[in-house]
Structure 1
């Protein structure tokens, strides 16, 4: 466990991974962009460090020793009462459906693979700390498939929709129905630039990268 003094302006982070070399490497890569206030190699130690330090974000490996064998998902469950103030971002070499589903269902706000760039990871930490959900770009579609095919989409549907404002939901529905930006602007009595802004926010909040993915997302939830 490595505790340090508070430094305002930087996200307070705890790193949980059973490989010391990875933890050290990650701290070096993140540098001064965040404040690493703790680290842990096991489920039990992780829960203790998180409760003691109350970080903004926990960078969490999915496969961890200790506890009852639940790995990263178990850490999140052990800290479920802290989820309003502590956000969990899974970072793993695995992109298996079972790993993604278990840790997200437990309460993690995102899941990225260890191939993520340092700049992207820093952005993901900021996004998760702000309450957004974050997934590696190549996992975005896979995550939707994983939740859908495992029957868990009902568990996350309301939470995902709650991220969008009423206006963003309106714009999303029209995009999914095939409306052009100009048609949406006319329908909602707003400017094309405002439509573009709403679409950009929707894609970011839902971690999607195109109109096609957005349409698919809406169709899966039967809200088109």
Structure 2
């Protein structure tokens, strides 16, 4: 059995992942615990010493990268499981020490396979995300420039920005991120103000130019 700790700030999402993993026939995955932020993640990983951590990228307390930084050379391997498939998130997380990166659209059987492969020492990415990593290390993406733009936004604003730029309706964004439509509207207004943009159309073009979609 491959032992796992699930780290995500949304309790409903953690419950969903747990249920999906346990629903797979003959699953080789055993869930030892859960955590919701950097502090509880470090504590849970230290206590349980799982083989693999399913790690959210945008985590309260400093993000998934901070969890990996605090644990240092810990034996556990990290598999990022995030709503974001933006280049700078993928690259930053891999630089932080993760062995793989998959998005929350992954199916149950695919997630089980990814966990087992990471536990065995493989690096696991979807083809699109693997391309980001290759491009970054080949110098095709100026990650520093992307980071400078995104530093103006909070982690939640980045999530809202990407979904809106992809054409999601406010209701769809709210459902995806487990927040209210009113909160989505507030974040969207803040994003447009900080980036000095005036419309969804401009936001989509801005994000596309930076390969954030």
TM-score by length of 2: 0.62
CA deviations 1:128-177 (Å, max 9, x no partner) are 0001100023322222113333579xxxxxxxxxxxxxxxxxxxxxxxxx
Q: Is the 8 A contact 1:76 1:106 kept in 2?
A: yes
Rg (Cα) greater in structure: 1
C-alpha distance in structure 1 between counterparts of 2:5 and 2:39, whole Å:
14
Match of 1:81, SS state, is coil
Q: What is the match of residue 105 of structure 2?
A: 115
2:6 pairs with 1:11: no
Q: What is the match of residue 80 of structure 1?
A: 72
In the TM superposition, 1:89-104 aligns within 5 A as 89-104=79-94
Q: What is the match of residue 153 of structure 2?
A: none
How many residues end up aligned between the 2 structures? 138
Match of 2:73, SS state, is helix
The one of 53, 56, 59 aligned to 1:61: 56
Q: What is the match of residue 132 of structure 2?
A: 142
Match of 1:91, SS state, is strand
Q: Is the 8 A contact 1:101 1:147 kept in 2?
A: no
Q: What is the match of residue 31 of structure 2?
A: 36
CA deviations 1:64-117 (Å, max 9, x no partner) are 001xx3x011111111221xx210000101111221111111111000111111
C-alpha distance in structure 1 between counterparts of 2:49 and 2:137, whole Å:
29
Q: Is the 8 A contact 1:18 1:41 kept in 2?
A: yes
Q: What is the match of residue 181 of structure 1?
A: none
Match of 1:95, SS state, is coil
C-alpha deviation, 1:127, in angstroms? 0.6
Q: Is the 8 A contact 2:91 2:132 kept in 1?
A: no
C-alpha distance in structure 2 between counterparts of 1:108 and 1:151, whole Å:
21
**Greater relative contact order (Cα < 8 A, sep 6+):** 2
Q: Is the 8 A contact 1:116 1:136 kept in 2?
A: no
Q: Which aligned runs of 4 or more in structure 1 are off by greater than 3 angstroms?
A: none
TM-score by length of 1: 0.59
C-alpha deviation, 1:43, in angstroms? 0.7
Q: Is the 8 A contact 1:93 1:113 kept in 2?
A: yes
- Unaligned 5+ segments in structure 1 are 1-9, 153-224
C-alpha deviation, 1:60, in angstroms? 0.3
- Unaligned 5+ segments in structure 2 are 144-213
C-alpha distance in structure 2 between counterparts of 1:144 and 1:17, whole Å:
27
